[in-house]
Structure 1
Amino acid sequence: MYKLLIAEDVKLVRETLALSIDWERLGIELVGVAKNGEEALEWLKHDPPDLLLTDIGMPKRNGLELIEAFRACKPDIRCIILSGLNEFEFARQAIKLQVMEYIMKPIDPEEIEQVFSKITAEMHREREERRGIELLEQGLKDRLPNLANALPTVEWTGSLKKKKLVEQAIQVIRESYSRKELTLSDVADEVGLSEKYVNALVKEVTGMTINHWIVMLRMEEAARMLKDPANRIYEICDRIGYADQDHFRETFKKQFGLTPTDYRNNYL
């Protein structure tokens, strides 16, 4: 269930919004109805909602000020404006604040249901994507710290020697993946094997080529660094071995399904 807060200064409109719409059917829990901006801000102190439906022309903080305050506390909140003020300036400010919808009064419960149905469907998709990313990250964390335990048991003669060679190759990659010029040739030289043989061996034992390992380790480090807002994206790009930010962005999106910026926004 997604939590919704309604902020509306007109009592009749508040009651209509609260009682005429089947919020539960939409997967929404109506956690509160505030009669002005100040009252709505109290929710930030104990239980910030996932959704905010707010009028613009309210006393004690108007709707746009309210949205700005809620976004500062919870950047991923979905904000919907409900207003009879059909003025371009308000709409322009709403767009700047990334308001999802701008609904005009008089209210139409059917229209509001359609709007929220669309928004919750999008939120559900994003939640599932985040869940998938978390599972992928957990899988990487489980797999990377102890490669020896993660490697499958193999049947061929000399398997222990092959396993140790693979561990050695992966260790080289771990220590060097941030180098912009790191190549398959460098890894092969470090372990004293031909490029073709070491690459085939690593893929046989781990299911991934050496280039895949380089990319995976770089992307895992990028994901970790993105969770700290002090790390700028161009700095992350440089520190994990990418000279081109566009290349980094496309590679990251291919790995995680999100751009670095979107990934960061989802975790802050």
Structure 2
Amino acid sequence: MFKLLIAEDVKTVRETLARSIPWEKLGISLLGTAENGEEALAWLDRGREQPDVLLTDIGMPKMNGLALIEAFKAHKPDIRCVILSGLNEFEHARKAIKLQVQEYILKPIDPGEIAEVFANVVRELREEREARSGASVSGHPPGERPPRLPDAPQAGEWSGDLKKRKLVDQAIRYMKAHYMRKDLALPDVAAAVGLSDKYLNVLVKEVTGATINHAIIRFRMEEAARLLQDPSNRIYEICERIGYADLDHFREVFKRQYGVTPTEYRNGHA
């Protein structure tokens, strides 16, 4: 089994992680839990078994999760790290990517999502171990696929759709908060969520049926339609408020969306 250490400062979350996830079925042995970064780091100095995987919160007292990951990687470069956090700022996600964090899971915790993440981590660790040894850990010769461990959960058994939905919801919230920016585009949204442009675009289209760019346009046009119903809002002001620099372009996009010009739309809702 692969060994796991958990660092989480909130007691209820820490206990839930320890008790509610079927670690052994996932092929993982839980070494222990720590309530802050310093306590987790001290694990390296006790001569105890060393973890293969670290699951850590970001916002912890004494030493935050990102500093803890850096310290662990300095001691054991091949350790796999998974972040669990309610902190959904871009800077944290960007630094997590730089540290080669395996996953970035948002609170509130979902046991199914966590189990799916760790099922993937274990699968990758097994494949790497087999590649290094030239044979599978179960003694099967190279090239021969070993049987699945009894009761080991498959990724499809867990709520993978929930994770996708959370990421898409993050992207949608970001777009709704920033669609008035004239330069808002796919790379900005992808960076805010911590994913590649291509993957986020595919994910959003899979869940919503629309690409990121189409979603941004839809949010802008919906807001324009709402503002047009108030005669005190001038059309050129609406154009600027929703992130368009060119009035003719705004009219063209609005007509494609609603089949009428902004003026015709306003007259129809007078």
- The alignment's TM-score, normalised by the length of structure 2, stands at 0.49
Larger Rg: 1
- The alignment's TM-score, normalised by the length of structure 1, stands at 0.49
